[in-house]
Amino acid sequence: MVSLKDDSKMKVVTSPHWKRTLYFLLFALSFTIFIAILYEEELTHIIKPSPWHEFEEFEFENFNQQEEQEEQEEDILVQAVEKDVVIKPFAVGETEKECDVFEGRWEYDEAARALYGEAECPYIQPKVMCQANGRRDKQYLHWRWKPHWCSLPSFNATFMLEMLRNKRVMFVGDHIHRGQFVSMICLLQSAIPQSFQSFETVKPKSIFRASNYNMTIEFYYSPFLLESNREHRSQRFLREKIIRTGSIDKHARHWRGVDILLLNTYTWWLQPRGKIKILKGSFEGDKRKNKIKEMKTEDAYKLAMNELVKWVEENFDPHKTRVFFTSISPSHELSEEWGGEAKGNCYNETTPILDNPTYWGVGSRKGFMRVIQQVLSKSKVPIEVLNVTQLSEYRKDGHLSIYKKHERELAPRDLANPRSYADCHNWCLPGVQDTWNELLYSKLFFP
Ligand SMILES: *[C@@H]1O[C@H](CO)[C@@H](O)[C@H](O)[C@H]1NC(C)=O
Ligand SMILES: *[C@@H]1O[C@H](CO)[C@@H](O)[C@H](O)[C@H]1NC(C)=O
Ligand SMILES: *[C@@H]1O[C@H](CO)[C@@H](O)[C@H](O)[C@H]1NC(C)=O
Ligand SMILES: *[C@@H]1O[C@H](CO)[C@@H](O)[C@H](O)[C@H]1NC(C)=O
């Protein structure tokens, strides 16, 4: 195996000078425009590299002629702001100004949560039905997410279905994202007569159809988004994961044409040594030209995220479609982290972390979070982050734990020590992932 030259460094898309100038310009204009017409919400969209071509054609260098240009610039900014208000697809309203819906706390709400019953949703796989698999505590079902500075809009399945008429929604990513997909159909299915619902799986895809709305919600399994050796029978035995750079289109061509695309990728990138192999070449065919390079996982992740952004920019129209990325889903493997007993994990946890607003587990790597934030914010086609990490960090009680069907018969030794086989990674449904979808609902319709 030959080593790659270090050609993996990121191109800096936005020059600092350009950015500084843009910031300055925005400050100069903010009083005259934004406060006057109260479009503060949209400010954030403009500070980010803009999705509109007007900005790119704009000459920000000749700042000396500012006065002459100012009027013209104002016009363009106002147009852009108005355009954004009008065109953000699916939006029908807005969230209260200055309210970050991802910052908040869990409130116990026996009456209003959960939004459906485990037994009412036929799409939860029996192997992950927590109650049916013996979970007796029920508190975990009844927590409602309350943002600090506003309330979430209440989830209206009929409204969402009306809005999604003739549309395709697609979740893409790993097994965790499959949970969010199932949660979404569970939230909607009670508003669709049974005879109009259908569900089929043809790997790597599952499709839920609501034929009376001509609407589909799909899931496409692609845990790295890029191609990996795990997909190739002959290479599965390899212990080490290998990711092929430049391979986004292998899977992504199946995501073209959808109206709402939701992505995630994280867990599979974590490696014991913090390194992962990147292939330049091909898993099939002529392997003589293959080059493999070992990289820090975060650098490899950045490579993948950049490929993703480039692909989204080339294939999605921000005037018609929306793209979301679900941030890291935390696991709860070490109870010492939240002050629990030694050597414990999520097993036997029945309450969220309520007294530590900054609680953050070591499993959610801050470096990866930075990559998500930095790379996605540069996308010319907005990729909105569903920043579910912090709110899910609190939910040590929300995992499957031991309440799932196991692939193999458990030995007496295991049974004597339940925490040894607890799943502190995937989530019970109904549960935490319904909140992720309530947040999606909020971002989609009330951005
Ligand atoms: C839900 O949305 C539908 C369709 O927009 C509307 O008719 C209905 O009144 C809404 N229900 C509630 C409880 O707001
Ligand atoms: C159903 O939706 C698809 C888009 O997902 C659209 O192309 C098609 O025209 C719709 N069919 C009808 C009968 O409206
Ligand atoms: C589970 O937690 C309860 C109290 O919350 C405790 O009494 C019990 O011993 C715990 N069980 C195990 C097996 O750790
Ligand atoms: C998500 O929110 C956390 C704090 O709650 C923040 O530290 C992090 O940068 C945010 N991530 C992204 C990708 O926006």
Residue of 105, 302, 327 to mutate, ligand 4, most atoms within 8 A of C-beta: 327
Ligand 1 contacts CB of residue 162 (under 6 A): yes
pLDDT (0 to 100) of residue 11: 39
Query: Which residues, 6+ apart, have CB-to-CB distance to 426 below 8 Å?
Result: 128, 175, 176, 179, 399, 400, 404
What percent of the chain stands above pLDDT 70?
A: 80
Ligand 1 center from residue 162 Cα (angstroms) = 10
Ligand 4 contacts CB of residue 264 (under 6 A): no
Phi and psi dihedrals of 279, rounded to 5? -105, 130
| Dist. CA 436–CA 102, nearest whole Å | 10
> Are the C-beta atoms of 88 and 401 separated by less than 8 Å?
no
pLDDT (0 to 100) of residue 42: 38
Q: What angle do CA 419, 424, 429 make, to 5 degrees?
A: 120
pLDDT (0 to 100) of residue 242: 93
pLDDT (0 to 100) of residue 376: 98
pLDDT (0 to 100) of residue 72: 52
| Dist. CA 266–CA 255, nearest whole Å | 19
User: Could you tell me which of 33, 32, 30 has the C-alpha nearest to residue 78?
Assistant: 33
Ligand 3 center from residue 349 Cα (angstroms) = 9
Q: Please give the model's pTM, rounded to 2 decimal places.
A: 0.82
**Tens digits of residue pLDDT in 35-44:** 444 444 333 3
- The structure tokens listed for 379 are 């996308």
pLDDT (0 to 100) of residue 289: 86
335-347 average pLDDT score: 95
401-415 exposure pattern, b = at least 16 Cβ within 10 A, e = fewer: bbbbeeeeeeeeeee
Residue 141 has pLDDT above 60, yes or no: yes
Nearest CA owner, ligand 4 atom 4: 390
**Tens digits of residue pLDDT in 306-315:** 999 999 999 9
With bands split at pLDDT 50, 70 and 90, how would you rate the model's confidence at 32? Answer: very low
Ligand 1 center from residue 155 Cα (angstroms) = 10
Tokens 């050597």 belong to which residue?
343
> Are the C-beta atoms of 372 and 327 separated by less than 8 Å?
yes
Ligand 1 contacts CB of residue 214 (under 6 A): no
Q: Give residue 292's region: left, alpha or beta (phi > 0; psi -120 to 50).
A: beta
With bands split at pLDDT 50, 70 and 90, how would you rate the model's confidence at 3? Answer: very low
Residue 82 has pLDDT above 90, yes or no: no
268-277 average pLDDT score: 93
Residue of 161, 162, 164, 166 to mutate, ligand 2, most atoms within 8 A of C-beta: 166
User: What stretch of H or E contains 250?
Assistant: helix 248-252
Ligand 2 contacts CB of residue 168 (under 6 A): yes
With bands split at pLDDT 50, 70 and 90, how would you rate the model's confidence at 286? Answer: confident
Tokens 């895809």 belong to which residue?
205
pLDDT (0 to 100) of residue 410: 86
> Are the C-beta atoms of 229 and 238 separated by less than 8 Å?
yes
- The structure tokens listed for 130 are 């927590």
With bands split at pLDDT 50, 70 and 90, how would you rate the model's confidence at 60? Answer: very low
Residue 65 has pLDDT above 60, yes or no: no
**Tens digits of residue pLDDT in 211-261:** 999 999 999 999 999 999 988 877 766 778 999 999 999 999 999 999 999
Higher pLDDT, 379 or 79: 379
Ligand 2 contacts CB of residue 214 (under 6 A): yes
Strands (DSSP E) contained in 151-264 are: 168-173, 197-202, 205-210, 215-221, 242-244, 260-263
With bands split at pLDDT 50, 70 and 90, how would you rate the model's confidence at 34? Answer: very low
Peptide bond preceding 114 in cis form (omega within 30 of 0): yes
Provide the CA 295 distance to its chain's centre, in angstroms. Answer: 24
Q: Can you give the three-state secondary structure of 107-125, one letter per residue?
A: EECCCCCCCCCHHHCCCCC
pLDDT (0 to 100) of residue 85: 46
Strand order in 275-280's β-sheet? 242-244, 275-280, 291-296
Q: Which ligand is nearest to the CA of 218?
A: 2
Residue of 158, 164, 190 to mutate, ligand 1, most atoms within 8 A of C-beta: 158
Nearest CA owner, ligand 2 atom 14: 166
Residue 47 has pLDDT above 60, yes or no: no
Higher pLDDT, 75 or 420: 420
DSSP annotation of 33:
I
